Amino acid sequence: MTDTAALPTSSRSEADRTDAALADAAVELARRLLSTSLQDESRREVRRRERLGALLADERGRQMIFAMTDQVLRIDDPALAADRFADVVRRHHTTAVGRIDALLLRAGAMVAPRLPRIVMPLVVKRIKAETHGIVIPADDPDFATHLERRARDGVKINVNPLGEAILSDAEADERFVSVLDRIGRDDVDYVSVKVSAIVANLDAMAFELSVERICDRLRTLYRAAETSRVRTFVNLDMEEYRDLELTVQSFMRVLDDDEFAAIDAGIVMQAYLPDTHDAADRLGAWAVERHARAGGTIKVRLVKGANLAMEAVEAELHGWTAAPYGTKADVDASYKAMLDSLLRPEWAPAVRVGLASHNLFDIAWALTIGARRNVLDRIEFEMLEGMAPAQARAVHAAAGRLLMYAPVVADDDFDASIAYLSRRLDENTQPDNFLRSLFTLTADSPEFDREADRFRTAVNARHGVDRSRRRAPLPLGVDTDSRFAAEPDSDLTDAATRAAFLDAVATPPTPTFTPVTDTAAIDAVMSTATAALLAGRAGEEDRTEPGDAGRPGTRSFDERRRWLLVAADLMSAERAETIGLMAAEVAKTIHEGDPEVSEAIDFCR
């Protein structure tokens, strides 16, 4: 990969002109892909696209979709679900669903509270019908029929068993068995799994132990995948930032074993996290060495990331800067920069790329530079099952092959699909997200031109996109005129923080102080404290008299305030030592002690 920022001016200009020409070619290819897909749509696909586009363009429609998927479908009791359904329809009534559906919704909302056991199964059935093709039934014969149909179309399927968050070892075992069942099928040759879905209670603080637990599971998965009658490709997915390093290190550690050094395996990289650039660099260098030693290759599934809301909430709760990039423009530039990196020539024998996107400009860019650099054989194009099927067919025809990412869920576990659907809908409704335009875009519209401009900007910006870690404690800025800000908690995904805490727990400090045992001295301390309290309540300041110098009870409010702020800063600087002492004296875990130190600092401030 060439970094144009480091080139001489003349060379940089030439590279910029080449980029501009390639970007123009990609825009025209995206236009052709879009036109082809619109001409190829069936009437049913047109109706569905137009309905979903109208809903997503309507604020009330978006709110209704969110409320239906995230609230109504999660309630098991028909009566409670009916009341909630009626309330959602009243508050978010919209005609964007079409006149007939709008009337049916209003009628259902009136009848549901009176006949919940009749109406609510019909509501759920209708919602399931609307999600048909996006979330695939996990049970036969529907699952087998879908795989057979896709095989006839020449499309490969990446099977992704869905499920809610794992909270116990029993749930992890159940999910693990379900993945193994998929691997054992003759009609499945590709599965995706998150380590957080098959190993419960992963803990960044217990990093090595967590990696060992993940490795045990992965060895079983890879062994089953390699020995099944139809060899199955296993791809490691991830969602949360905290899982990034756990997943990467577990992936490399297991595939370094002699037993697995020659197999091919995959891992996802989320371009909305700047940290993934470093992770990808480490993966690529390791993969080249592994391939030279044993022949195994890796595939990096490149995605933009779909957990932004949760990352923002977690950062706000703990007082951090959120881990993902702060703007969509940076994410788009990062995505293209990472594609450049993964396609570097020196990695050619060992690293392939799964370009996962519905953004036709990104797909066209990969097709364009892939052909230009003669590396199209290293790129596999991936799209979401059921999302814009006509565009998927156009991409399949242009690329010659296509992998569909297919979430599957058992009928009695349909609730597990709700989080997936909610996240996809959230992606679709972001103002600057291509998926929001996906259902209304035409090749000659101003909207297409706006998307093309965003694409060109990202192509230009990819060389200079910041790749440094973003998650960090927010600056406090506590001074006389500023508002109070809570002390940030520690980020245990940071290796240096973990090491400092573990060292302090292993070797706790030994405080030294002079004990006060004389009753007269204790009385003097209490008198000083009482005088300070009374002075503060009375608003008295600066009562220093001869012989009183240094007595806290005689100091001004501002001076006492400065002492508290200095004490808070000291506690912040010595957080690790305090946590080590808490562990030694009262058996506090690091997870328990860290927020208590933050709270003590907050009290002082």
Q: What is the mean pLDDT of residues 557-570?
A: 90
- Predicted confidence at residue 442, as pLDDT, reads 84
pLDDT at 356 over 60: yes
Lowest mean pLDDT of 186-190, 275-279, 306-310, name the range. 306-310
For residues 173 and 197, is the Cβ–Cβ distance under 8 A?
Answer: no
Lowest mean pLDDT of 102-106, 113-117, 241-245, 561-565, name the range. 102-106
Q: Is 590 helix (H, G, I), strand (E, B) or coil?
A: helix
HSE on the CB side for 424, CA within 13 Å? 20
Q: Per-residue confidence at 2, pLDDT binned at 50, 70, 90?
A: very low
Which residues make Cβ contacts (< 8 Å) with residue 114, sequence separation at least 6? none
pLDDT at 218 over 80: yes
Does 191 or 116 have the greater pLDDT score? 191
- Predicted confidence at residue 139, as pLDDT, reads 85
For residues 238 and 208, is the Cβ–Cβ distance under 8 A?
Answer: no
Q: Per-residue confidence at 1, pLDDT binned at 50, 70, 90?
A: very low
Lowest mean pLDDT of 40-49, 184-193, 511-520, 541-550, name the range. 541-550
| Amino acid symbol at 345 | P
Dist CA 512 CA 379 (whole Å): 63
Does 127 or 400 have the greater pLDDT score? 400
Structure tokens at 472: 């960090």
pLDDT at 352 over 90: yes
Does 67 or 600 have the greater pLDDT score? 600
HSE on the CB side for 155, CA within 13 Å? 27
Dist CA 514 CA 527 (whole Å): 19
pLDDT at 545 over 60: no
Q: Is 236 helix (H, G, I), strand (E, B) or coil?
A: strand
Q: Per-residue confidence at 368, pLDDT binned at 50, 70, 90?
A: very high
Of the candidates 61, 60, 108, the one whose C-alpha atom is nearest the C-alpha of residue 84 is: 108
Q: What is the mean pLDDT of residues 383-398?
A: 90
Q: What is the mean pLDDT of residues 74-82?
A: 85
Q: Per-residue confidence at 420, pLDDT binned at 50, 70, 90?
A: low
Place of tokens 């499920």: 163
Of the candidates 524, 474, 421, 563, the one whose C-alpha atom is nearest the C-alpha of residue 135 is: 421
For residues 124 and 94, is the Cβ–Cβ distance under 8 A?
Answer: no
Counted residue by residue, the chain has a size of 605
CATH topology of domain 23-39+132-464: TIM Barrel (3.20.20)
Dist CA 285 CA 344 (whole Å): 11
pLDDT at 360 over 90: yes
Of the candidates 333, 360, 462, 460, the one whose C-alpha atom is nearest the C-alpha of residue 23 is: 460
Lowest mean pLDDT of 55-59, 398-402, 434-438, name the range. 434-438
Q: Domain-by-domain residue ranges, the chain?
A: 23-39+132-464, 58-127, 495-604
- Predicted confidence at residue 77, as pLDDT, reads 87
Rounded to two decimals, what is the model's pTM?
Answer: 0.85
pLDDT at 594 over 80: yes
| Amino acid symbol at 272 | Y
- Predicted confidence at residue 433, as pLDDT, reads 65
Q: What is the mean pLDDT of the chain?
A: 87
Sign of CA dihedral 502, 506, 507, 511: positive
Q: What is the mean pLDDT of residues 511-538?
A: 85
- Predicted confidence at residue 542, as pLDDT, reads 46
- Predicted confidence at residue 125, as pLDDT, reads 79
Is the bond into 141 cis (omega within 30 degrees of 0)? yes
- Predicted confidence at residue 188, as pLDDT, reads 94
**Residue-by-residue DSSP string for 245-296:** HHHHHHHHHHHTSTTTTTS-EEEEEETTSTHHHHHHHHHHHHHHHHHHHH--
- Predicted confidence at residue 271, as pLDDT, reads 96
- Predicted confidence at residue 387, as pLDDT, reads 81
For the stretch 136-195, pLDDT in tens is 888 889 899 999 999 998 999 999 887 656 779 998 998 899 999 999 999 999 999 999
